[in-house]
Structure 1
Amino acid sequence: MKGSFSFKELSKSGALSTSTSYLKEQITSVFQPSDNKLAMKLFGNKMALKKEKERQEAVGKWVIHPCSNFRFYWDFIMLIFLIANLISLPVTITFFHDDLPNTWITFNAVSDTIFLMDLIINFRTGYITNTTTNYFTGIIADNFADEIILEPHHIAVHYLKTWFLLDFLSSIPLDHVIVLFTPDAEGISQIIHAGRALRFFRLVKLLSLLKLLRLSRLVRYVSQWEEVSLFISVAGKFIRIFNLISFILLLGHWNGCLQWLVPMLQDFPSNSWPALEELQNVHWLEQYTWSLFKALSHMLCIGFGRFPPQSSTDVWLTMVSMLTGATCYALFVGHSTTIIQSFDTAKRLYREKFKQVEEYMMYRKTPKHLRQKITDYYQHRYRGKMFDEKSILSEVNECLREDIINYNCRSLVAAVPFFTHADPNFVTDVVTKLEYEVYQPGDYVIKESTIGTKMYFIQEGIVDIVTKDGDVATSLSDGSYFGEICLLTNSRRCASVRCETYCNLFSLSVENFNSVLDHYPLMRRTLESVAAERLNKIGSSSSSFSSVFV
């Protein structure tokens, strides 16, 4: 029996040890970096992320990685509690005295506990240095030990030197601490109703205001979320506008509470605005409504509320409100203008470029008909948006560049029968060397007797082949190409090509033309065959191949 009992106890002990180890592994994995947006942006690939996990395991199990899921969700929880506190705290401090509801007392206790826990968690959370890491453009190098600090001692020292003091002052409930060190409830009641009541009441209220230092945490957490959201450019811009509006509304809310708090701490003098409007004993919601109305009237510079300031205190409060409102207005206009302009950078660049063109035409005293033609060209060529396409394509790798160009030229490739049945590699080599050009009605793309340096593919539009006599031999439209004969024979153009409509063309220079055909001799023979057929169509013989026109 004893042996059996010992075996069962040993089995239970082993199972408990296994469960404990499994639980520790799960907790440790939560503290390690995950493949979220921030981590993948910093490390670039899962192999580097794996190395970072190994580095963290070597440091210790109870260090929280800044890119871990735990820190992500903790920051989200903190963000919610911060917003709730920064909205509710001023209302509670200003409009409630000793009649706080149980719901608020519970929420306040939970919030204070959460913020104290955040102090401890910050001492165990690694931080990202700003030496070489860039959230927007850079990926952490292979040796990223200098960028993300995980050593507990360095983490503690860094936190103590940066945000600890503000976080500590905003986390410790000093108002409750003062109450704890006063006599019991009955004694407190006597104090409140004694001569020192007003000073004690003011001290508790002012100490409660220290909790508003939690705004510093809100700014940090919002900045972190902005960093992640900016990976998606449009979403990041909307979030920045939303955050800006939210902060302005929060300042208006605080200002409204301040409009009531200052007269209340003075025991509502007879010439204060709450006393003039007889609001001391009404419901707190009505008090807050009138306070907010007065604050926003000042901030928007539309008035003083129902009464102008009657005391020096009111005058100072009014001036603070006006300065705050003017500052917020300037920040909002400037920041919003910058963000709105960044929504469509290409359109802004086009407007700036076209403004230069207009100034150039004025400087050169360009005739009116030529000004109109230049204006029409820019409108058709760029269609209100301007990109530095060459720079963009030069910055990506060759494979991606080919994919982009093939996509941009997909309609041309589909429309040109010559490309439809050609070798895909030949098509790719050609389209990656094409140059986009736009011509207006009446423009001569090719003039007779000139030396041929390009061939052209028509993406959109109609061109006429004009002979020496001025007759239109034929017309070409979408999907056609011309100019290749002269490149094949090194001869001069013997006819002109005139645009009948606006034409979007792609040109291929003679150097690139010969470079591509040298690698695809079969395609050269195909082009020569098509050129011979075209000569026959306009009445020339293939034997006169050296005197072709296009």
Structure 2
Amino acid sequence: MPCLQSGTANPSITITLDSDSDSVYSDYLSPEINYKNDVRVQFIGDDTSLYGTPKEELLPPSQETNNAVEIKPSPTSYLKDQILYFFQPSDNKLAMKLFGNKNALLKEKMRHKRVGNWVIHPCSNFRFYWDLVMLVLLIGNLIILPVAISFFNDDLSTHWIVFNCISDTVFFLDIIINFRTGVILNDFADEIILDPKLIAKHYMKTWFFLDLLSSIPMDYIFLMWDAEADFSQLFHAGRALRMLRLVKLLSLLRLLRLSRLVRYVQQWEEVCFLAIAGKFMRIFNLICLMFLLGHWNGCLQFLIPMLQDFPKDCWVSIEELQDAHWAEQYTWSLFKALSHMLCIGYGRFPPQNMSDTWLTILSMLSGATCYALFLAHTTTLIQSFDTSRRLYNEKFKQVEEYMIYRKLPRSLRQRITDYYEHRYQGKMFDEETIHRELNECLRQEVINHNCRALVASVPFFTNADPEFVSEVVSKLEFEVYQNGDYIIKEGTIGTKMYFIQEGIVDIITSDNEVATSLSDGSYFGEICLLTNARRVASVRAETYVNLYSLSVHHFNAVLDRYPVMRRTMESVAAERLTKIGKNPSIVSSRADLEEDQKLVNEIV
């Protein structure tokens, strides 16, 4: 129950809202008060304010005024509010995945209140814990029921009746709760059905009849219907034995609860975000399903001969297991079933009669199906472990086929192979697409991280304007050259400049002599971009060189916005022209370069 109290100099106004109210009536609000900034919001039984922030502590009684209107809830209404609050969407992982933020979640709470009472939101705490209880109960039923039906004859024992009654009651309650639980039609919060009529219609069209069939105690209904049966003589008369067989077959209908298990496992994957490791979960679920089918198959191996009163040629009679302990019976039944499912044999001996033969065929088919599914999921999982390596292998296979098709020389093939190994190092990504899909902030952070080694090693970047550095690195392209490759040839038109991240290059003059060498942190190729002239020297890779290139278009666009950095690069270019015997005036028409030299010393 929220209360609004003014914090301004105006007379104090405290308004207590009923929990079902959706708005504050204008009659109680003063137009002179900024309620967003000055109004304190207090919630009784809720964890958030109207603006999605944690609720403030209740005001002490001394601060309440005579103008306050306060309604104290009765114990009954308070208990009702607490129960209804438990039905509302909670701040759990599933809710945050659907709604994205607390404000949207708060709006969904208000929408849930408008729908009416006793509608359970699928993202509520109640549904979360109820699904947990159902998951545990379902697993217990699917394991215990086949054992009890197959290996125990005391179907009317007190323990067995109590267990079945509790299970059936809970599953009937689950059907009722499903009629009152909202439905998430997709992964987006804009399609959550909260209308009880639409919920019932959706449930009737999907899982209702299967849930109902698996919850009705058909075995007990049959026994109650046959009131003439003397239960004290139930296991001694021939007619009673036929009834026992029918009751056991009717009890198998409870195994249809497997469909609920699949649904609840999927819901828990959503809540716990286990779908992130979806392939692992599919394999884990498949392994669990194989064990469950093996368990059911083992129970069935013993149930069929028991329903036939253990004929002499059945495997149970041959093994003399009719009067053995149920654990020994189950062990040999499970061994026989798994031998069939894994196709490693028939157990201790082949089937001797028609029913055993058909059971063996059924076991082999189910085992082969599970094995094929397991193999397919495992293969998919292994392939997805390293997608980038798989893409690289596929790409390199195309390159190899291309080299064979074009009949390239062996030496050239080896150089291409070495280039791919050094350039991609066994992994391949569509980096441009990845960057394009990110927003501007994330993209810039990723680029800065990728180029952090370059920025740290280039003195030119160390003391430069950070905005200039960020703009430059965002336009760089990564390139790799092998030793002996000519990165730049003298006399060609320059379209790029380069920053060396790792490696050594030689500056070759026109007389084929090494004028100087550049290594990590250096840059070259900027002279012709500044002068619009041809390359004044050649640059050859001395080792494997990892570098970043900047195109002439981006070069001019960046320097036009940072004229100081252009003057700095012009001064450095003039020095380099002097070293190789060229006229430095081609990059600057200024007669005095001392001022630029000082700027170079400060930045470089």
Normalising by structure 1, what TM-score?
0.90
Residue of structure 2 in register with 1:155 after alignment:
199
What are the superposed Cα offsets for residues 399-448 of structure 1, whole Å, 9 maximum, x if unpaired? Answer: 11111111111111111111111111111111111111111111111111
For 1:117 and 1:458, the matched residues in 2 are separated by 71
Spell out the pairing of 1:406-425 with structure 2 (5 A cutoff): 406-425=448-467
More divergent stretch after superposition (461-470 vs 302-311): 461-470
Residue of structure 1 in register with 2:179 after alignment:
123
Instruction: Compute the RMSD of aligned alpha carbons.
Output: 2.2
Q: Are positions 1:361 and 2:361 aligned together?
A: no
For 1:83 and 1:431, the matched residues in 2 are separated by 56
Normalising by structure 2, what TM-score?
0.82
Measured after TM superposition, the shift of residue 237 of structure 1 is 2.7
Q: Are positions 1:203 and 2:238 aligned together?
A: no
Q: 1:478 to 1:107 in 2, by over 3 A?
A: farther
Spell out the pairing of 1:276-425 with structure 2 (5 A cutoff): 276-425=318-467
Residue of structure 2 in register with 1:8 after alignment:
none
Q: 1:232 to 1:520 in 2, by over 3 A?
A: farther
Measured after TM superposition, the shift of residue 462 of structure 1 is 1.5
Q: Are positions 1:213 and 2:256 aligned together?
A: yes
Measured after TM superposition, the shift of residue 512 of structure 1 is 0.4
- 8 Å CA contact retained: 1:192, 1:200: no
What are the superposed Cα offsets for residues 94-145 of structure 1, whole Å, 9 maximum, x if unpaired? Answer: 111117886665544433232121111101001122xxx4x3xxx44xxx2x
- 8 Å CA contact retained: 1:229, 1:236: no
For 1:346 and 1:420, the matched residues in 2 are separated by 33
- 8 Å CA contact retained: 2:570, 2:587: no
The runs of 5 or more residues in structure 2 that have no matched partner are 1-69, 590-604
Q: 1:105 to 1:495 in 2, by over 3 A?
A: farther
For 2:271 and 2:406, the matched residues in 1 are separated by 50
Q: Are positions 1:28 and 2:84 aligned together?
A: yes
Q: Are positions 1:169 and 2:249 aligned together?
A: no
- 8 Å CA contact retained: 2:496, 2:525: yes
- 8 Å CA contact retained: 2:234, 2:241: no
Measured after TM superposition, the shift of residue 537 of structure 1 is 3.4
Residue of structure 1 in register with 2:96 after alignment:
40
Which has the bigger relative contact order, CA under 8 A and spacing at least 6? 1
For 2:256 and 2:138, the matched residues in 1 are separated by 10
Measured after TM superposition, the shift of residue 268 of structure 1 is 0.6
Q: Are positions 1:193 and 2:249 aligned together?
A: no
**Alignment partner of 1:457 out of 479, 482, 499:** 499
Q: Are positions 1:520 and 2:576 aligned together?
A: no
Residue of structure 1 in register with 2:112 after alignment:
56
Residue of structure 1 in register with 2:543 after alignment:
501
For 1:262 and 1:15, the matched residues in 2 are separated by 68
For 1:269 and 1:33, the matched residues in 2 are separated by 58
Residue of structure 2 in register with 1:178 after alignment:
222
The runs of 5 or more residues in structure 1 that have no matched partner are 1-13
The number of aligned residues is 520
For 1:382 and 1:105, the matched residues in 2 are separated by 67
Q: 1:539 to 1:20 in 2, by over 3 A?
A: farther
Secondary structure at 2:175 match in 1: helix
Measured after TM superposition, the shift of residue 92 of structure 1 is 1.0
Q: Are positions 1:90 and 2:133 aligned together?
A: no
For 1:228 and 1:464, the matched residues in 2 are separated by 60
Measured after TM superposition, the shift of residue 476 of structure 1 is 1.6
Amino acid at match of 1:32: Q
Q: 1:471 to 1:105 in 2, by over 3 A?
A: farther
More divergent stretch after superposition (265-274 vs 77-86): 77-86
Secondary structure at 1:221 match in 2: helix
Residue of structure 2 in register with 1:73 after alignment:
129
Measured after TM superposition, the shift of residue 304 of structure 1 is 0.5
For 2:271 and 2:405, the matched residues in 1 are separated by 48
More divergent stretch after superposition (26-35 vs 536-545): 536-545
Q: Are positions 1:483 and 2:525 aligned together?
A: yes
- 8 Å CA contact retained: 1:458, 1:505: yes
Measured after TM superposition, the shift of residue 182 of structure 1 is 4.7
Secondary structure at 2:335 match in 1: helix
- 8 Å CA contact retained: 2:93, 2:273: no
Q: 1:104 to 1:365 in 2, by over 3 A?
A: farther
For 1:483 and 1:102, the matched residues in 2 are separated by 92
Secondary structure at 1:457 match in 2: strand
For 1:421 and 1:415, the matched residues in 2 are separated by 12
For 1:380 and 1:307, the matched residues in 2 are separated by 60
Residue of structure 2 in register with 1:4 after alignment:
none
- 8 Å CA contact retained: 1:226, 1:240: no
For 2:416 and 2:200, the matched residues in 1 are separated by 65
What are the superposed Cα offsets for residues 200-242 of structure 1, whole Å, 9 maximum, x if unpaired? Answer: 1111101110110000001111222334555763x33322221
Residue of structure 2 in register with 1:11 after alignment:
none
- 8 Å CA contact retained: 2:275, 2:281: no
- 8 Å CA contact retained: 2:168, 2:217: yes
What are the superposed Cα offsets for residues 259-308 of structure 1, whole Å, 9 maximum, x if unpaired? Answer: 11111100110000111111111111111111111111111111111111
For 1:492 and 1:102, the matched residues in 2 are separated by 99
Residue of structure 2 in register with 1:5 after alignment:
none
- 8 Å CA contact retained: 1:86, 1:215: yes
Amino acid at match of 1:199: R
Q: 1:364 to 1:158 in 2, by over 3 A?
A: same
What are the superposed Cα offsets for residues 322-346 of structure 1, whole Å, 9 maximum, x if unpaired? Answer: 1111111111111221222222221
For 1:15 and 1:453, the matched residues in 2 are separated by 79
If each structure's helix is expressed as a fraction of its own residues, which one has the higher value?
1
- 8 Å CA contact retained: 2:509, 2:580: no
For 1:476 and 1:448, the matched residues in 2 are separated by 17
Residue of structure 2 in register with 1:268 after alignment:
310
Amino acid at match of 1:206: L
Residue of structure 2 in register with 1:445 after alignment:
487
